[in-house]
Structure 1
Amino acid sequence: MSQRIDSRLSQLINAGQQHLLRNGLKGLEKESLRLAPDGVIAHTPHPIGVGSALTHPYITTDYSEALIELITPPHADPAETLRFLEDLHTFVYRNLGEEILLATSMPCGVAGDESIPIAEYGTSNIGRMKHVYRRGLAYRYGRTMQAIAGVHFNYSVNEALWPVLRELKGGSESLSGFIADNYFGMVRNVHRYGWLTIYLFGASPAFCKSFFTGREHLISEFSEFDAQTLFRPYATSLRMSDIGYKNDSQAGLEISFDNLEDYVASLGKAIETPFPLYERIGVKVDGEYRQLNGNILQIENEYYSIIRPKQITESGEKPTLALKKRGVRYLELRSLDLECFSPAGANLDQLRFLEIFLLFCLLEESSPLDSAEKAEVSRNGMAVACCGRTPGFKLRRKGGEISLKGWAAEMLDAMRGIAEILDAGDALKPYTRSLEAQGDLLSDPERTPSARMLAEMKENGESFAAYALRLSNEHARVFRERSLSAERAALFRRYSEQSLEEQRRIEAGDRFSFDEFLQRYFAQA
C-alpha cells in the first residue's frame, strides 16, 4: 500500500508539483439538536434572529425544526473553517435565549416520534417540498432516527492538481472526465477504508433508553449501563450501526460507484422505481401529501451513504442533474459523529487527518467495487461501529481476515508522505502531528472518543442523558462568553435579514400549484 502511494508522491516530487496536494478546500456541515433548559427537545420555531432556514447559506435545519444545521464556506486552511464554525455557534447562541445545543450525536430529551417536530420552511413550493420530503421520511422510518446528529466534512481537491495528475498518469480523456473518474475512485476507497474514521472519531457508544420508545423490543439487543442508558462496551459509533441511519428498502439497491454516468443512472432509477411498502403509505391522501412519491427513494438525499459526490445545485435543481451537467465539485464525508469533547463538534487535528485521509484515497489504487466487495466493506463499517474496540478485533479484506490494528497501521504508514508534503516545511509539523495523534488512538483504544465517553460516564456516575446535558451546558457557556468580531457579527446579521427577505420573495413569486411544481421538478432531464 505505502509503496503505491510513495511512487505517486515521487512522481509529483520529481515534477516539482507536490505543493499542489495542498490548498484543497475544506468545509463543514454540523447538526445539533436544540434543547430546552430542562434537557427536553425544543418545540420552539427555528430562531427568527438567525434568519430563514430555507434560504440562509450558513444556518438552516436538517430533519427536525429543532435540528439546527451550521454550514461553513470552504477554506484552504482548516483553521479558518473551524473558526467560521465557532463564529456561527457564537452568533446562534446570541439568538437561542435559554436553549442549548446538544453536544452529542445520539439524541436526548426525546420521547417517541411525536415529540420530534418536522422542520418547516414556509409556504413556497420549494419550502413545502422540503417539508413533505421529511414527512415521507417519518412515515417510512420514523422520526427518532432522523433526530441523530452528525458532522459532514466537505472536501475538494486543489483544482490545479488535476491537469498535473492527468499528465503524470498519461491520460488522454477530457479533464472533466478525468476529474469525475478520480473523484469516484476516492468514493470507492472511502467505502473501503472509511471504517478507520469510524474507529478514530466515533463518539456514540451509548444512548438514552428512551431512544427506543415505541420500539422496546430492541432494548434486549444492548447492554444496560444504568436504568436510563443502553450501550455496547466496545462500540465506537452506534450512530453508524444498524440503529442509526439505515434504509431497509435499499438493501438490494445497486448504486454504482464505477463512474459518474452509472452513478447518476442508478440513483435516478431508484428515484423512479415504485416500492410496494411505500406505495401503501399513499402519496396524497385526503388532499394532504404524506410523501413526495411511493418509490424506493423520494429524492437523492434519501440514499444513505458514508460519502456522496456533490455539485452545487441551482434553486430547485435535482442534484443528479447538477452532477450530470457540471460534474463532481466536491465530496461530502458523512460518517463523523459530533466530537463532543470540542464545543464546535470538531477539532483541528481531526480536520487535518481527514484531509490526509482523502488524499490517501485519491492516490491509492481504486478498482471497481463488485457486489462481494460492497458487502465486505459494508460489513466492516458496521462491525467497527458496533464493536471496533474489541481486543484483537478482525476485519475482512479480499475474502480473508486481517486485524484492525494491523490494517490501520498499514494505512497510517502510507499516509506519512502525504502529511509531510502538507506540512510544507512548517516547523510545528501540524499534519504529521495529527497523524501521530491518530496512531496513539490505535495503540491505546482507551483514548478514543468512544472509550473516553464511557469512562467519564462511569467515573461520574452519570447516565448518558446527564452526561450529554452537562457537556452541552459547558459548551453553551463557552459560546455565550466568546466574543464575535464586529465585522463577523454584521455579516451574519446581514445574511439573516437577507434570507428572510429572500424567503418572502420566493413565496410571492410562485406561479404554479404544488402539484405542478412537483411534476416539473421530477421531469427535469
Structure 2
Amino acid sequence: MTKTTASLQHRLRVFQRSDKLPAIKGIRRGIERESLRITPEGQLAHTPHPHVLGSALSHAHITTDFSESLMEFITPVSDSVETLLAQLSDIHRYTVRHLAGEQLWPLSMPCLLRNDEHIPLAQYGSSNVGRMKTLYRQGLHHRYGSSMQVISGVHFNFSMPDSFWVEWHELEGNGRYLQDFVSEAYLGLIRNFYRYGWLIPYLFGASPALCGSFLQGREHKLPFERLGKGTLYLPYATSLRMSDLGYTNNAQAGLNISLSSLDKYVDSLRRAIGTHAPEFARIGVKVDGEYRQLNDNVLQIENELYAPIRPKRTAESGEKPSEALEARGVEYIEVRSVDVNPFSAVGIEAEQIRFLDTFLLWCLLTPSAPLDEEEIALNRRNFTKVVLEGRKPGLMLEQSAGEAMPLALLGEQYFGELAEVAELLDACCGRGCYGKAHAQQLAAMRDPELTLSAKVLHELKQRNTDILPFGLELSRRYNAHFTSIIPRYWDDNYFDEEGARSQARQRKLEGSDTVSFDDFLKDYFAQ
C-alpha cells in the first residue's frame, strides 16, 4: 500500500466513524447548462434573446453565454440532487414554452453553422457593464473565432458543507486558519483533478462526432472519418468539445497558471491578464473609433482562462473573481469538462451527479503533491489522448518515470478507491444511490461501448444518419416533453416575476451610469 493510499484510507476510516459521518452530509451543488436556440430545421436561431424570458444581463436563472443564441440555465446552490434536477427541469420547461417555435439543441457540438459572422454576439443593453460583456465577446470572436464559442457544456459547481470542514480542520488543520485550510484543500482537489480528470471525458464525453460545417476554414490534423452527408467523427473519440478544436484552446497552453497556493494562483492569473500579447495586438483594441476587444493582453479578463476546473468564490457587486478569491478564499470549485448528455432532457442525469460527488470527494481526500511542469505536460498529454481516442482498445496512458499503463488497468485501480468513497457517501446520505452510480460507471469503464460517446456513435452508425437529424429528433422529443409536464419546483408565476424583476434591474443599471464607457473601462483595469 502506497503512502498516498494509506493516507486516503486513514481519512476514510476517520469519517466512517459514527460521530464523524454526519459531517459529510450536505454536499452543495449547482449546475450551469448551456444550449443553443435553433430553428425547427436545425440552423442557429438569429432572433434576439426572447424578451418574455427577462433580462439576460440580470436574470437569476435564464441568461446567455457567448452568443445571443447560446442560452445558459443556472440553478441555485442545493444540497439535494432531486431538488437540483427539479429546478433545472423547471427552467427548461418555462424556457421551451416561450421560444415561439424555436427549439433547444441537445448536443455539445453546434448545430448547422454558416460562418463566424452569422453567429450573433450576446447583447446586454446599454449600461457600461452590459456593453463590457458584449465587447468581451467581440474580443473572443476576433481572437478565437465564434464557432468555438458556441460549443455547449454543463458546468458543475461543488462544495463540501461547513460541518465537514470543521471536522477535517480539527483533525489536520495544524494551527492554520480555517479558510486557509479550506482553500489549500480545494487546490489539492484541483491538482488531483488534473491527474485523474481524464475519467470525466472518458465516461461523460458525448461529442465523438460533429457537423462538418463547424470546421469551415479551420485547420486541423485530425484523421476524421465521414458519416452520412456531412458528419465527421473519430472512431474512438470521447469529447471533441474538450479537444483543441473546441473548448481547450491551444493558444493558452503556455500560460502556466500556478496551483501550488491560492496566492500564487491569483498572482499568475493576474500576470496573464496584464501580459501584452503581440498576436492579439495585431487585432487592435480600438480601431476607427470602434472597440474590437477589451485589451490586447494574453487574457482580456479572468473568465477567458480556458480550464477544465476552477477555484471559485462568489463575487460581490463590481468585484473581480481574483479579488473575491484573494479576500475570502476558495468557496467552491467549478468543473467544466462535462459534455451535455444528449440522452437527458436537461443535459445531465442524477447518476452522473452522484458519480461527480464521489469523484470530487476522492480527489479532495487523496493527498495531492504540487504539480511540476513535467507532470503538467504529462497530464495534458493523457487528457488529449482520452478525448481523441479514449475508447481505443489497449490505449496506454503515461505515468511518472517514463512508464505507461493501460487506461483500463488505471481505471480499475481508481474505481477500487472510488468504491470506498461511494460507500462512505451511501452510509451518510445516499441510501444506496452512490453505489448504484459507481456500479454504472464501473461498467462503462470496463466496457467502452457503454460510455456516452459510444452510444452517440452507435445511434449515428445504426441509422447511417448525420448528426443534424439525430439532434433534431432529440430536440423535438424534449420539446414535446417540456410542453407537456407540470412544474416540479417553480411555477410559471415565479419565472414571470423574476423576468420582470430582471428587466427592472437592467433598467436601473442603465440609469445609474455616471461615466463614459471609455472611462469605465479605464477604471476597471486600473483597479
**TM-score where L is the length of structure 1:** 0.97
Judge which range, 406-415 or 296-305, deviates more: 406-415
The aligned amino acid for 1:155 is F
CA contact (8 A) 2:87 2:489 kept: no
* SS of residue matched to 2:32: strand
Structure 2 partner of 1:371: 373
Match of 1:183 among 186, 208, 219: 186
Aligned residues: 523
- AA aligned to 1:123 is S
| Contact 2:87–2:488 (CA under 8 A) maintained in structure 1 | no
How far the C-alpha of 1:505 sits from its partner, in A, is 0.5
What's the offset of the Cα at 1:290?
0.4
1:225 aligned to which of 224, 227, 230: 227
Structure 2 match to 1:109? 112
Listed as ranges, the matches of 1:336-375 within 5 Å are 336-375=338-377
- 1:198 paired to 2:168: no
Q: How far off is 1:407 after superposition?
A: 1.0
Selected match of 2:267 from 265, 268, 272 = 265
Following superposition, the deviation at residue 316 of structure 1 comes to 2.5
Structure 2 residue aligned with 1:208? 211
1:41 is aligned to 2:39: no
Q: How does 1:236-247 map to 2 (within 5 A)?
A: 236-247=238-249
Question: Is residue 363 of structure 2 the alignment partner of residue 388 of structure 1?
Answer: no
Q: Which amino acid aligns with 2:258?
A: S
Which amino acid in structure 2 is aligned with residue 349 of structure 1?
E
- Alignment partners' CA distance in 2, 1:128 and 1:179: 36
Distance 2:121 2:306 in 1: 19
**% identity of equivalent residues:** 46
Aligned with residue 314 of structure 1, among 313, 316, 326: 316
User: 2:33 maps to which residue?
Assistant: 30
Question: CA 1:249/1:459 → structure 2, altered by over 3 Å: closer, same or farther?
Answer: closer
Provide closer, same or farther for how the CA distance between residues 504 and 425 of structure 1 changes in structure 2, counting only shifts above 3 A: closer
**Once the 2 structures are TM-superposed, how far is the Cα of residue 249 of structure 1 from its aligned partner?**
3.3
Question: Are residues 1:70 and 2:48 paired?
Answer: no
Structure 1 unaligned blocks of 5 or more: none
Q: In the TM superposition, what is the alpha-carbon distance from 1:514 to its structure 2 partner?
A: 0.7
Per the TM alignment, residue 351 of structure 1 is displaced from its structure 2 partner at its CA by: 0.2
The separation in 2 between residues aligned to 1:521 and 1:149, in whole angstroms, is 29
- CA deviations 1:425-478 (Å, max 9, x no partner) are 779500010000000101111111101111111111210111111111111111
Q: For the residues of structure 2 that align with 1:308 and 1:220, how far apart are their CA atoms?
A: 28
Mean Cα deviation higher: 170-179 or 482-491 = 482-491
Matching residue of 2:496 = 493
Task: Flag as ranges the 4+ runs of structure 1 deviating above 4 A.
Answer: 425-428
Tell me by how many angstroms 1:184 deviates. Answer: 0.4
- For residue 20 of structure 1, report the CA deviation from its aligned partner: 1.6
Q: Deviations over 1:17-63 (max 9, x none)?
A: 12222211011000000001111100011111111000011110000
| Shift, 1:306, TM fit | 0.4
1:155, 1:330 within 8 Å by CA — same for their partners in 2? yes
Note the alpha carbon deviations across 1:298-317, whole angstroms, 9 max, x for none: 00111100001011112232
Pairwise CA RMSD of aligned residues?
1.5
> 2:179, 2:488 → 1: CA distance?
40
Name the residue aligned to 1:463: 466
State how far apart, in whole Å, the 2-side matches of 1:14 and 1:485 are. Answer: 36
Say which SS state the counterpart of residue 498 (structure 2) adopts.
Answer: helix
Which whole-Å CA distance do the structure 1 matches of 2:139 and 2:12 have between them?
Answer: 47
Letter in 2 for 1:502: R
The 5 A counterparts of 1:121-200 are 121-200=124-203
| Preserved contact between residue 70 and residue 85 of structure 1 (Cα < 8 Å) | yes
With over 3 angstroms needed to count, the CA separation of the structure-2 counterparts of 1:295 and 1:170, relative to structure 1, is closer
Partner of 1:484: 487
Q: State how far apart, in whole Å, the 1-side matches of 2:109 and 2:462 are.
A: 20
TM-score relative to the length of structure 2: 0.97
Question: CA-to-partner distance for each residue in 1:59-104, whole Å, 9 max, x for gaps?
Answer: 1000000000000011111121111101100010121111000000
1:427, 1:77 → 2: CA distance?
11
